[in-house]
Protein backbone atom coordinates (compact mmCIF):
# COMPACT_ATOMS: atom_id res chain seq x y z
CA UNK A 1 0.00 0.00 0.00
CA UNK A 2 2.86 2.34 0.78
CA UNK A 3 4.21 1.93 -2.76
CA UNK A 4 0.86 3.04 -4.25
CA UNK A 5 0.86 6.19 -2.10
CA UNK A 6 4.42 7.01 -3.11
CA UNK A 7 3.61 6.47 -6.79
CA UNK A 8 0.48 8.63 -6.51
CA UNK A 9 2.45 11.37 -4.72
CA UNK A 10 5.19 11.23 -7.36
CA UNK A 11 2.60 11.41 -10.15
CA UNK A 12 0.85 14.36 -8.49
CA UNK A 13 4.15 16.17 -7.99
CA UNK A 14 5.06 15.55 -11.64
CA UNK A 15 1.72 16.98 -12.80
CA UNK A 16 2.14 20.06 -10.60
CA UNK A 17 5.68 20.70 -11.80
CA UNK A 18 4.83 20.08 -15.47
CA UNK A 19 1.72 22.23 -15.26
CA UNK A 20 3.37 25.18 -13.53
CA UNK A 21 3.89 28.20 -15.74
CA UNK A 22 7.51 28.88 -16.58
CA UNK A 23 8.78 32.45 -16.36
CA UNK A 24 9.34 34.19 -19.68
CA UNK A 25 12.98 34.73 -20.45
CA UNK A 26 14.07 37.94 -22.13
CA UNK A 27 16.83 38.54 -24.64
CA UNK A 28 18.77 40.99 -22.56
CA UNK A 29 21.20 43.44 -24.12
CA UNK A 30 23.52 40.74 -25.39
CA UNK A 31 20.75 38.95 -27.31
CA UNK A 32 19.61 42.15 -28.99
CA UNK A 33 23.19 43.10 -29.86
CA UNK A 34 23.96 39.69 -31.38
CA UNK A 35 20.85 39.79 -33.58
CA UNK A 36 21.69 43.35 -34.69
CA UNK A 37 25.25 42.39 -35.60
CA UNK A 38 24.04 39.33 -37.52
CA UNK A 39 21.54 41.50 -39.42
CA UNK A 40 24.27 44.05 -40.14
CA UNK A 41 26.45 41.30 -41.63
CA UNK A 42 23.77 40.67 -44.27
CA UNK A 43 23.65 44.29 -45.44
CA UNK A 44 25.41 45.31 -48.62
CA UNK A 45 28.20 47.85 -48.03
CA UNK A 46 26.24 50.88 -49.33
CA UNK A 47 23.26 49.96 -47.17
CA UNK A 48 25.49 49.34 -44.15
CA UNK A 49 27.06 52.77 -44.71
CA UNK A 50 23.62 54.42 -44.87
CA UNK A 51 22.46 52.64 -41.69
CA UNK A 52 25.65 53.69 -39.88
CA UNK A 53 25.12 57.29 -41.01
CA UNK A 54 21.51 57.27 -39.81
CA UNK A 55 22.56 55.89 -36.43
CA UNK A 56 25.47 58.31 -36.10
CA UNK A 57 23.06 61.22 -36.64
CA UNK A 58 20.84 60.07 -33.77
CA UNK A 59 20.79 62.69 -31.03
CA UNK A 60 19.20 60.47 -28.37
CA UNK A 61 21.43 59.92 -25.34
CA UNK A 62 20.01 56.60 -24.11
CA UNK A 63 22.47 54.44 -26.10
CA UNK A 64 25.63 54.75 -28.15
CA UNK A 65 25.00 55.15 -31.86
CA UNK A 66 26.30 51.92 -33.39
CA UNK A 67 23.88 49.20 -34.51
CA UNK A 68 24.59 46.87 -31.58
CA UNK A 69 24.03 49.59 -28.97
CA UNK A 70 20.96 51.00 -30.71
CA UNK A 71 19.40 47.53 -30.67
CA UNK A 72 19.06 47.89 -26.89
CA UNK A 73 17.32 51.28 -27.09
CA UNK A 74 13.79 50.03 -26.33
CA UNK A 75 15.06 48.47 -23.11
CA UNK A 76 17.25 51.48 -22.27
CA UNK A 77 14.29 53.88 -22.32
CA UNK A 78 12.18 51.91 -19.83
CA UNK A 79 12.99 54.43 -17.10
CA UNK A 80 11.55 57.29 -19.19
CA UNK A 81 7.82 56.60 -18.76
CA UNK A 82 6.67 59.20 -21.32
CA UNK A 83 9.07 57.98 -24.00
CA UNK A 84 8.24 54.37 -23.19
CA UNK A 85 4.52 55.08 -23.56
CA UNK A 86 4.98 56.87 -26.89
CA UNK A 87 7.18 54.14 -28.37
CA UNK A 88 5.85 50.94 -26.76
CA UNK A 89 4.61 49.58 -30.09
CA UNK A 90 8.14 49.77 -31.50
CA UNK A 91 9.66 47.30 -29.03
CA UNK A 92 8.93 44.16 -31.03
CA UNK A 93 6.90 42.98 -33.99
CA UNK A 94 4.73 39.87 -34.03
CA UNK A 95 4.42 38.50 -37.54
CA UNK A 96 2.04 35.62 -38.08
CA UNK A 97 3.77 32.56 -39.54
CA UNK A 98 0.88 31.39 -41.73
CA UNK A 99 -0.28 34.82 -42.90
CA UNK A 100 2.68 37.24 -42.65
CA UNK A 101 1.73 40.89 -43.00
CA UNK A 102 4.49 43.35 -42.09
CA UNK A 103 2.25 46.39 -42.56
CA UNK A 104 -0.29 45.03 -40.08
CA UNK A 105 2.41 43.91 -37.64
CA UNK A 106 4.03 47.36 -37.78
CA UNK A 107 0.73 49.14 -37.16
CA UNK A 108 0.36 50.14 -40.83
CA UNK A 109 3.60 52.08 -40.93
CA UNK A 110 3.92 54.53 -43.81
CA UNK A 111 5.93 53.16 -46.73
CA UNK A 112 9.49 54.44 -47.10
CA UNK A 113 10.00 56.27 -50.41
CA UNK A 114 12.23 54.19 -52.69
CA UNK A 115 14.14 57.23 -53.95
CA UNK A 116 15.79 57.65 -50.55
CA UNK A 117 17.61 54.30 -50.71
CA UNK A 118 21.15 53.97 -52.10
CA UNK A 119 20.29 51.28 -54.63
CA UNK A 120 20.96 52.21 -58.24
CA UNK A 121 19.75 50.55 -61.40
CA UNK A 122 23.37 49.75 -62.30
CA UNK A 123 23.89 47.58 -59.24
CA UNK A 124 20.86 45.47 -58.45
CA UNK A 125 21.73 42.05 -57.10
CA UNK A 126 19.67 39.52 -55.19
CA UNK A 127 21.53 40.29 -51.98
CA UNK A 128 21.23 44.06 -52.34
CA UNK A 129 17.53 43.77 -53.07
CA UNK A 130 17.19 41.51 -50.02
CA UNK A 131 19.06 44.05 -47.87
CA UNK A 132 16.86 46.88 -49.12
CA UNK A 133 13.68 44.93 -48.49
CA UNK A 134 14.86 44.13 -44.97
CA UNK A 135 15.44 47.82 -44.31
CA UNK A 136 12.14 48.90 -45.83
CA UNK A 137 10.25 46.41 -43.74
Asked whether residue 33 is assigned to any structural domain, the reply reads no
Please report the pLDDT score of residue 46 as a whole number: 93
Domain boundaries, position 103: 41-136
Distances (CA, A) of 128 to 2, 30, 49, 104, 115: 70, 27, 13, 25, 15
Alpha-carbon distance values, 133 to 29, 33, 35, 67, 136 (Å) = 26, 21, 17, 18, 5
Each residue's pLDDT, cut to its tens digit, for the chain (137 residues) gives: 566 766 666 665 567 666 666 665 667 899 999 999 999 999 999 999 999 999 999 998 999 999 999 999 888 888 888 888 888 777 777 778 888 887 777 766 666 555 544 444 334 444 445 544 555 54
pLDDT for the residue numbered 108: 65
Decide: 68 and 33 in contact? Cβ < 8 Å.
yes
Q: Specify if 74 maps to a domain.
A: yes
Residue 115 falls within a domain, yes or no? yes
User: Is 87 part of any domain?
Assistant: yes
C-beta separation of 33 from 70 below 8 A: no
The pLDDT, as a whole number, for residue 114 is: 59
pLDDT at 125: 44
The pLDDT, as a whole number, for residue 121 is 39
Q: Given this model, what pLDDT does residue 79 score?
A: 82
Residue 8 covered by a domain: no
Domain assignment present for residue 51? The answer is yes
Domain presence at residue 18: no
Task: Domain count for the chain, please give it.
Answer: 1
Give residue 47's pLDDT: 93
> Is 57 among the domain residues?
yes
The secondary structure element, H or E, covering residue 38 is helix 28-41
Amino acid sequence: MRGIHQAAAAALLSIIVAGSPAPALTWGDEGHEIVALIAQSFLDPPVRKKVSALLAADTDSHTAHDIASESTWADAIKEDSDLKRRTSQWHFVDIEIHNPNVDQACFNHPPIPRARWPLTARRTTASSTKSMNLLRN
